[in-house]
Amino acid sequence: MRTPAATPDPRPFRVLLVEDDDTFGRRLESGLRGNGYAPTWRRTGADALAEAERASYDALLLDLGLPDTDGLDVVRRMRDRFPRLRIVVFTSREDGADVVTGREAGADDHLAKPFGLDALLSRLRVHLRPRYSAAPLSDPVRLGDLVIEAAARRCTLDGAEVPLPPEEFAVLIVLARYADTAVTGQHLAARARVEDPSGPGAALDVTVASLSRRLADAARTAPRPVRLPRISTVRGRAYRLETDLF
């Protein structure tokens, strides 16, 4: 019998690309997608900040010259809000002033425009290297009004704590880490170390159903409408935490 290979991590890195130049933005977006990343492209600082609140990202690629706001201000706010987010800024000036201030504002790296896709990909590889680390890349993870604090083992919906049993919290962490990506039951169970004594998938089904119910109950009893990602079942064999509904 062959030894099964280690389960490859199926989750592409989520990259928030902020670039107001249509041609350049489109080229970077398709280049990132073609190289296994999951890019989301926004054209303004305001849209980028809103998008970062909506879903969790591993990296922010930000043109400092934006039409609506000072790119450095966006860097500061992102760094303040998401301490573990990797930030690479695009600078257009050659005098280095933006580079220095970009670093001071909290950027991890910079690329001087114009640059090629290969240069960008090599920076991303450096900054997103710890891909198999057990901890989520960002903590807390925010998905709509749901906030998951992995280190504190705490989950809140619009500020109100949602008490979860350990195995349900473990499942939620994995689904959040792979938000909007289908995760097979086998992978999810392995990652969440859910005990499965009664047969393939059975215990996991119960855990996921219970987790969904608890989250839905919390949303229903919340004092105001909340944005809650939904757990969907994909062809009966995989699960996905959907964040694109809000």
Which residues of this chain interact with Ca ion, rule CB under 5 A? 20, 63, 65
Q: Which is nearer to Ca ion, 43 or 142 (CB)?
A: 43
Amino acid identity of 54?
Answer: R
- Closer by beta carbon to Ca ion, 9 or else 70: 70
What is the Cα 209 distance to its own chain's centre? 23
Return the number of the residue (31 or 65) whose C-beta is nearest Ca ion.
65
Is 181 strand, coil or helix? coil
Min separation Cβ 21 and Ca ion, Å: 5
Q: Give me the residue label for tokens 């933006």.
A: 98
Smallest gap from residue 170 Cβ to Ca ion (A)? 42
Closest to Ca ion by CB, 48 vs 157, is 48
In angstroms, give the least distance from the CB of 67 to Ca ion.
7
* Residue number with the smallest Cβ distance to Ca ion: 65
d(CA 48, CA 166): 34
In angstroms, the CA 30 to CA 66 distance is: 21
Say if CB 27 and CB 121 are below 8 A apart.
no
Q: What is the largest CA-CA distance in the chain?
A: 65
Amino acid identity of residue 219, one-letter, is A
Residue 116 or 165 with smaller CB distance to Ca ion: 116
**In contact, 240 and 10? CB cutoff 8 Å:** no
Q: Which is nearer to Ca ion, 29 or 145 (CB)?
A: 29
Question: Measured from the CB of residue 65, what is the shortest distance to Ca ion in angstroms?
Answer: 4
Report the C-alpha dihedral over residues 67, 69, 70, 73, rounded to 10 degrees.
-150
Nearest approach, Cβ of 70 to Ca ion (angstroms)? 12
CA angle 79, 82, 86 (to 5 degrees): 70
- Least separation in angstroms between CB 33 and Ca ion: 21
